[in-house]
Structure 1
Amino acid sequence: MSYLHLGPYSDWPAWSEAVAARATPPARDRTRQRVHEALAVVDETPADVRVERTWRLDGIDGEELSWSVGFGPRTHAWLLRPSGSTGPLPGVVALHSHDGIKFYGKEKIADAPEPTPPSMAALRTKAYGGEAFANRLCRRGYVVLVPDVFCWGSRRFPLDAVPEPMRRDGTDEEVAYNETARDHEHLVEKYCRLLGTTFAALVNREDRIALNYLRSRPEVADRLGCVGLSGGGCRAAMLQATSDVAASVVVGMMSTYDGLLDRHVAQHTWMFFPADLPTDTDWPDVAACRAPSPLLVQYNRQDPLFDLGAAEAAHARITEHYADAPDGYAGAFYDGPHKFDREMQDDAFAWLDRKLEAAQA
């Protein structure tokens, strides 16, 4: 087989032992162990939580929170709950996407009182049906936590900490930062390796900290969900694998690893390749390793980030993991490009309604 982006190295996959090792789905308990080792999973909570401000707007009571994860800038997050609600209500961690945009994080998918930044309005039009989906979900009767994560928004590296040869110049601070951060992620992964971790592990750790904070809130019911598109879908899959989240929605982030090899590696984040997991574990195995825990994966047939055949193969592999509990997994295919539009949101929210209501029963 010839691979466009491997060229004269197109015989490399056939030589690789990892490709052969991934051919057979591993036992789920073994995958869980491998994932926990790769992501260094321990139970952690945020330190020094502060309420920075509160607001009431358009039927939502909001709080801007900040906390420490032990190093670096403080994490900022928005907690959204229906105005006047007394709880307990189902809780969901809404996970922002990657997008090659790190200047902002939570602002991609949620609104506070300030006007939406123009670049975020444009992103929502392209990827989210023009919606702040976290606010839509909140108005449906959920407490929604929307945190920034390592390298995004409040947790981003300042530009002057980036080596000068990597910095992009420009009069638009946001554009210059995002162009710089695209290359800087490779350097951050090197820092992670030198410091005994990985980019994926740090992101997953911070998402688990956010989940544990949401669990601690008195107005939140016992069992929780998570949802995210693209890089947020990657985060949702890892959170599904490393926590006891009761329902997980992975949007636009599912493929076999083999299906990435021809033309679909360059555009993906280091989050997608946790430590040495790909040596013997496929990405759908990671997402499904807690079967029968409820999992919804939404696929876009014309998604330029993934090969459709690889997405269909991933769907089949997850279905195999859920063979003894077919109600636990739903895989839905939609026409269109890389997105989480209103139709997909409506379907995902209805699925969360069913699964989290059942979880509370």
Structure 2
Amino acid sequence: MGNTRRHFIKQTALASISLSGSSLLPNELRIFDKPTDSMLSETIVADTTPSMIGAYGPWAAKRLDTQLPALSFRKKEWTDLEKWREAAKTRVLERLAVPEISGTPEVKVNKQYTYDGLHIEELSWQLPYGRPTEALLLKPANAKGPLPGILAFHDHGGNKYFGTRKITRTSDKPHTLIQAHQEHYYSGRAWANEIAKQGYVVLVSDAFPFASRRVLLQDVPTAIRQGLSDQDPENPKNIEAYNQWASEHEHIMAKSLFCAGTTWPAVFFAEDQKALDILCARKDVDASRIGCGGLSGGGMRSVYLGGLDPRIKCAVSVGFMTTWKDFALHKSYTHTWMIYVPLLPNELDFPEIMALRAPLPTLVLNDEDDNLFTMPEMKRADTILAEVYKKANAADKYKCSFYPGPHKFDTAMQKEAFAWFDKWLKS
């Protein structure tokens, strides 16, 4: 999902080619080719693909494959959608151990201006911990009356130096690294700007620990700084060095969060809820018509916020939908520490976190050549979501599309995502 990740994948590609899907059995490919009613069952398909953990793979697979997770709505005993949602949501929140952030933060408007037909506000707010969160709000320059709102989530991209800037544009001369980032992942477009132009109030905030929320070198012990400093931060070479350091710091942050009694997805969720509070409180926003979406790390955040907060009336996850089995056996080496919630796979598969929002509209966009996931498990995730929505009598509220090419949110995918938002937030 970025320069650091691409470099790592290049270095490991030859050694791990069987993990990327090239050695999948023909039968497995046929099984997961197209969801059918017969697939929407409790049938378990054995996975004989070599795993990242070698001889321990079959044992780990058996733990995931012997039965459906305890709180899966796919289990026959769950017949009441609301009772299932209440029980499953309660358990997810328990497993996440969400940190308490009481009240709505005071929002400061640091700057306002018009650019490319949009009214833009540079905002900031202080949470109980860390440095202030910086954010951008975008809406049509001459908008009148409350508009539907979108929480636009930036990606991970192996790049913690940048946050909101990855998916926005506020001048004709963006940072050279941002320009390259948008060309690589977004067809050269600032997608948050583009959806705002279609009649939305869009809020984009820096996620923990990116950009304004990143870990500064001056704040950590000298022993782990690797000789780096925060001087001349906008220099591309210094940004690359920082991102490499931040990548290697992830395991420290994850272990520290576990020791503090919480999880990384919980911090995302707590902070994204505060951003949602801020968006919903605005007079220029119709709080009954709020959506969220994003690519990659932004897609993951859409899974958790969309699944757990019913104020999100329409959710779009791009380039981030698979199963716990995919992470356990095949693809955790391509991902960060930001995904995992201990013990939760016993109770819900990863797609079922997002399925908690059923029957609210949900769109999943995948890339066929995405090296972050295996195709059979992306297909299986689609099957899981489709089954839940069918059982919830809301099959028309769920859609999944696959696009050719690698990990991205290109123009064609944006077009479908924007149309999905329009369909459910403007009708």
Structure 1 pair 215–331 and aligned structure 2 pair: CA distance change class (3 A) = same
**Following the alignment from structure 2 to structure 1, what is the Cα–Cα distance between the partners of residues 110 and 137?**
11
Structure 1 pair 357–267 and aligned structure 2 pair: CA distance change class (3 A) = same
**Following the alignment from structure 1 to structure 2, what is the Cα–Cα distance between the partners of residues 271 and 22?**
24
Q: CA deviation at 1:183?
A: 1.6
**Following the alignment from structure 1 to structure 2, what is the Cα–Cα distance between the partners of residues 276 and 213?**
32
1:93 aligns with 2:151: yes
Task: Name which of structure 1's ranges 109-118 and 143-152 shifts more when overlaid on structure 2.
Answer: 109-118
1:196 alignment partner in structure 2: 261
Larger radius of gyration: 2
Q: Identity percentage over the alignment?
A: 38
Taking structure 1 as the reference length, the TM-score comes to 0.93
List gaps (5 residues or longer) in structure 1: none
1:5 alignment partner in structure 2: 52
Say if 1:31 and 1:285, in contact at 8 Å, map to a contact too: no
**Following the alignment from structure 2 to structure 1, what is the Cα–Cα distance between the partners of residues 200 and 61?**
48
Q: 1:176-220: per-residue Cα shift (whole Å, max 9, x none)?
A: 110011121111112212222111101111111101100000001
Q: 1:19-71: per-residue Cα shift (whole Å, max 9, x none)?
A: 53545771342322222223345785442311111111110011111101211
Say if 1:25 and 1:285, in contact at 8 Å, map to a contact too: no
Instruction: Read off the aligned partner of 2:307 and give its amino acid letter.
Output: A
Counterparts of residues 156-171 of structure 1 (less than 5 Å):
156-164=214-222, 166-168=224-226
Match of 1:123 among 177, 181, 200: 181
**Cα RMSD over matched residues?**
2.0
Structure 1 pair 83–183 and aligned structure 2 pair: CA distance change class (3 A) = same
Say if 2:265 and 2:341, in contact at 8 Å, map to a contact too: yes
Task: Name which of structure 1's ranges 5-14 and 58-67 shifts more when overlaid on structure 2.
Answer: 5-14
Instruction: Read off the aligned partner of 1:283 and give its amino acid letter.
Output: F
Say if 2:139 and 2:202, in contact at 8 Å, map to a contact too: yes
Taking structure 2 as the reference length, the TM-score comes to 0.79
1:78 aligns with 2:136: yes
Match of 1:278 among 345, 356, 376: 345
Task: Name which of structure 1's ranges 106-115 and 240-249 shifts more when overlaid on structure 2.
Answer: 106-115
Say if 1:75 and 1:154, in contact at 8 Å, map to a contact too: yes
Task: Name which of structure 1's ranges 141-150 and 113-122 shifts more when overlaid on structure 2.
Answer: 113-122
2:77 alignment partner in structure 1: none
**Following the alignment from structure 2 to structure 1, what is the Cα–Cα distance between the partners of residues 49 and 419?**
43
**Following the alignment from structure 2 to structure 1, what is the Cα–Cα distance between the partners of residues 101 and 357?**
17
Say if 2:147 and 2:200, in contact at 8 Å, map to a contact too: yes
Structure 1 pair 25–259 and aligned structure 2 pair: CA distance change class (3 A) = farther
**Following the alignment from structure 1 to structure 2, what is the Cα–Cα distance between the partners of residues 43 and 206?**
8
1:226 aligns with 2:287: no
Match of 1:37 among 94, 106, 109: 94
List gaps (5 residues or longer) in structure 2: 1-47, 74-83, 229-234
Instruction: Read off the aligned partner of 2:320 and give its amino acid letter.
Output: M
Say if 2:161 and 2:242, in contact at 8 Å, map to a contact too: yes
Q: Secondary structure at the match of 2:202?
A: strand
Instruction: Read off the aligned partner of 2:118 and give its amino acid letter.
Output: I
2:418 alignment partner in structure 1: 349
Counterparts of residues 136-155 of structure 1 (less than 5 Å):
136-155=194-213
